[in-house]
Amino acid sequence: MTAQRDGMAELTEALGGRLAFGADYNPEQWPEEVWDEDVALMRAAGVTMVSVGIFSWALLEPEPGKHDFGWLDRVLDRLHAGGIHVDLATATASPPPWFLLEHPDAALVDGAGVRRTFGSRQAYCPSSPAFRGAAVRMAGAMAERYADHPAVVMWHVSNEYADHNWHCYCDVSAAAYRDWLRDRYGSLDALNDAWATAFWSQHYTDWEQIGPPREVSYNSFANPGQQLDWWRFSSDAQRDLFRAEAAAVREHSDAPLTTNFMGFFKPLDYRGWAAEQDIVSNDHYLIGAEPDRTQHLAMTADLLRSLAGGRSWLLMEHSTSAVNWQPRNLAKVPGEMRRNSFQHLARGADGVMFFQWRASRGGAEKFHSAMVPHAGTESRLWRDVCRLGDDVRAIAEVAGSRVAPASVALLFDWPSWWAATLDSHPSVDVDPLVTARAWHKVCWGRNIGVDVIGPADGLEGYDVVVLPVQYLLDDATVARLTAYVRGGGTLVATYFSGIVDEHDHIRLGGYPGALRDLLGIRVEEFHPLPEGETVPLAGLKEGVGRVWSELGRATGAEVVASYAVGPCAGAPAITRHAVGRGMAWYVGTELTAEALDEVADEVLGAVEPVVEGLPAGVEAVRRLGAEASYLFVVNHTHETVIVPIDGVDLLGGSTGAPHVVKAGDVAVIRQP
């Protein structure tokens, strides 16, 4: 469900038609003399908006109920005088030291029952009424004071909910969990049934007997139903806190509001959060050592656009260069920050923001890059920041345009992800995100547009729908997938999909119970592979499977490839089943990149890329505006590329056709 309100369009208007460009701004880390220089440099860099106050609670409320807003008044006034707009935080991301002293029972408790102490950030229990009360009061006080401040154009509620406190196992949380379970199940009978408590003497006769899945006896497993519901509950508990804080802001202000997501962040099912954001926003950081980091960025941006219902969204944070929290914090190579930024913009972001404006000189993040580095403005990084500011200004007219409809939908569902990765499963090597990334990568490499959709999203218009390890499927989704294939769609389901219902109960009678008929196959037994081993497949040129194999047979499907050796020799590994006017493919193992490419040639063969004929490593995405379309080209390669397209490059200024995009460069080509 998408929010009614298009807060991103409101923001663009408030920014005078410019895109959001800026960063988290933490002036409280600096003496006031620096603030004037900050504003001057922001203007020089083309900054339009900064996020202020995210971690300022302790300075804004130094004693319970006593506020010191003076310094923030001066910051906001200065920013306003300099023409810089503000995304103002509720300042509730991390409570002050006094809070946990006053409310020791609001501190985070881990699964072993150990209370975590103050000294970092976000060390609170999300279900704590004391924390909620304090945060709501603070959020309300901020909104009341600054609702009418002319610099403030949007609200930033808390920050990255759950980043450091995703699950709290304290007694308060346990009570909240029981309430949540009562709501979900209504009766203990229903809960006992859903959790299969007949197993291991777990039958509950009183709600008070139920607790969170804390650490259990050695070398054993907590009840899977209890664990799966715990993930659900914990995501909802964080959302309830968000709702309470957001409501406190909305009492005083109509400005659009957001809380920043973290892409494929496992603890929060953002599908249940997105509709409550006026602006859907995201923080994305590359894992510097990852060869496929560029594709990870693209897939995350595709998720964000899907969460925003296809509308524009906001990149709230990324880094200008290195971060501080990876084992080796690799600096970005020249041009990488610019390419990263344009990937987000291409995929629907109407702004690029960073963490943070000025690199800190103290604190845990002092080695994190920023827009103003420790070296100051005599630096390549600063020059790159200013250039990006120019670029962002040059493409302002893309604001509000929509990314052209995608041809492929990748189904990615949080509850299924949680359930698929619980313990006591056939193999620890099964990871829905890995499989989803592999399928996104073959599309991305071909410049085929992908939406990352949820089970309730519509399937109309997609040429291909992919279910990567969609372990948990409910009946309604199966019915819609079946109708989609009958109507002419192409479905690809991978191994370990359709195995259980929403209670994590096996769908009996042969795997994959939910999809058996649609796929025309029946699997009797899983044979996951030993760590690092592969199995050759007969029927493909480059056929090798990893992670998984299984013993089954086709009951209507055509066998495309089968296991060549081993206990499943001769059994189907890849099948396709003509159903109605469509086709249902099944891939029963994790394909290597080469094998997947070969299968993709078949499955995606008829799907049109955004632009024909671009070499690998050149990313192309089209955004459609009311009067023009914009082809974003990001050249990740070391070669110049010729783009056979007629139009005007908003960045380089070249007109006509073709366009030359140099190694590592970016173009945004406007076409009528």
Nearer to ligand GAL, 24 or 236 (CB): 24
Cα-based distances in Å from 507 to 211, 515, 590: 27, 10, 22
Nearer to ligand GAL, 21 or 630 (CB): 21
Q: Establish whether 160 is a catalytic residue.
A: yes
Asked if residue 163 lies in contact with residue 98, where contact means CB atoms within 8 angstroms, the answer is: no
Question: Closest CB to ligand GAL belongs to which residue?
Answer: 355
- The residues in 527-586 that bind ligand GAL, with binding defined as CB under 6 A, are none
Q: Give yes or no for residue 302 binding ligand GAL (CB under 6 A).
A: no
How many residues bind to ligand GAL according to rule CB under 6 A?
10
Nearest to 353 by CA among 306, 278, 283: 283
Nearer to ligand GAL, 283 or 665 (CB): 283
Stretch of residues binding ligand GAL (CB under 6 A), selected from 156-164, 207-215, 471-479, 563-571:
156-164
What amino acid occupies position 550? Answer: E
Nearer to ligand GAL, 167 or 577 (CB): 167
| Residue tagged 């499907």 (tokens) | 557
CA 151, chain centre distance (Å) = 29
CB of 288 to ligand GAL, least distance (A): 12
Nearer to ligand GAL, 12 or 26 (CB): 26
CA 514, 519, 520, 522 torsion-angle sign? negative
Question: What is 534-554 written as a DSSP string?
Answer: EEEEETSTT-EEES--EEEEE
SS3 168: coil
Asked if residue 107 lies in contact with residue 118, where contact means CB atoms within 8 angstroms, the answer is: yes
Polymer length of the chain: 672
Nearer to ligand GAL, 159 or 635 (CB): 159
Spatial distance between the Cα atoms of 544 and 590, rounded to a whole number of angstroms: 9
User: DSSP letter at 494?
Assistant: E
Instruction: Cis check for the bond before 213: say yes or no (omega within 30 of 0).
Output: no
Nearest to 461 by CA among 487, 497, 494: 487
Task: Select which of 317, 336, 590, 598 is catalytic.
Answer: 317
Q: Give yes or no for residue 87 binding ligand GAL (CB under 6 A).
A: no
Spatial distance between the Cα atoms of 122 and 589, rounded to a whole number of angstroms: 40
CB of 508 to ligand GAL, least distance (A): 43
Q: Which positions from 228 to 267 touch ligand GAL by CB under 6 A, shown as an x/- string?
A: ----------------------------------------
Would you state the structure tokens that stand for residue 240, as one six-digit string? 């309830």
Nearer to ligand GAL, 355 or 585 (CB): 355
Q: Give yes or no for residue 285 binding ligand GAL (CB under 6 A).
A: yes
Secondary structure percentages of the chain, helix, strand, coil, to 5: 35, 20, 45
Would you state the structure tokens that stand for residue 87, as one six-digit string? 């995304």
Stretch of residues binding ligand GAL (CB under 6 A), selected from 159-167, 192-200, 388-396, 660-668:
159-167
Task: Select which of 33, 63, 102, 160 is catalytic.
Answer: 160
CB of 528 to ligand GAL, least distance (A): 34
Question: Which of 283, 302, 413, 619 touches ligand GAL by CB under 6 A?
Answer: 283
| Residue tagged 């995608």 (tokens) | 406
Q: Which positions from 626 to 665 touch ligand GAL by CB under 6 A, shown as an x/- string?
A: ----------------------------------------
Tell me which long-range contacts 200-208 makes (C-beta under 8 A, separation of at least 24): 207/178, 207/181, 207/182, 208/178
CB of 666 to ligand GAL, least distance (A): 23
CB of 51 to ligand GAL, least distance (A): 9
Q: Which positions from 101 to 140 touch ligand GAL by CB under 6 A, shown as an x/- string?
A: ----------------------------------------
Would you state the structure tokens that stand for residue 289, as one six-digit string? 């050592």
Nearer to ligand GAL, 359 or 411 (CB): 359
Spatial distance between the Cα atoms of 663 and 618, rounded to a whole number of angstroms: 10
Spatial distance between the Cα atoms of 64 and 470, rounded to a whole number of angstroms: 48
Nearest to 631 by CA among 618, 384, 279, 286: 618
Question: Which of 118, 233, 355, 444 touches ligand GAL by CB under 6 A?
Answer: 355
- Please enumerate in sequence order all residues whose Cβ is within 8 A of that of 266, keeping only pairs 6 or more positions apart, or say none: 414, 417, 418
Question: Which of 103, 239, 368, 522 touches ligand GAL by CB under 6 A?
Answer: 368
Q: Give yes or no for residue 623 binding ligand GAL (CB under 6 A).
A: no
CB of 647 to ligand GAL, least distance (A): 36
Nearer to ligand GAL, 324 or 421 (CB): 324
Stretch of residues binding ligand GAL (CB under 6 A), selected from 5-13, 28-36, 158-166, 304-312:
158-166
Q: Give yes or no for residue 381 binding ligand GAL (CB under 6 A).
A: no
Q: Establish whether 524 is a catalytic residue.
A: no
Would you state the structure tokens that stand for residue 645, as one six-digit string? 């397209």
Catalytic residues: 160, 317
Interface residues with ligand GAL (CB under 6 A)? 159-160, 163, 283, 285, 317, 323, 355, 365, 368
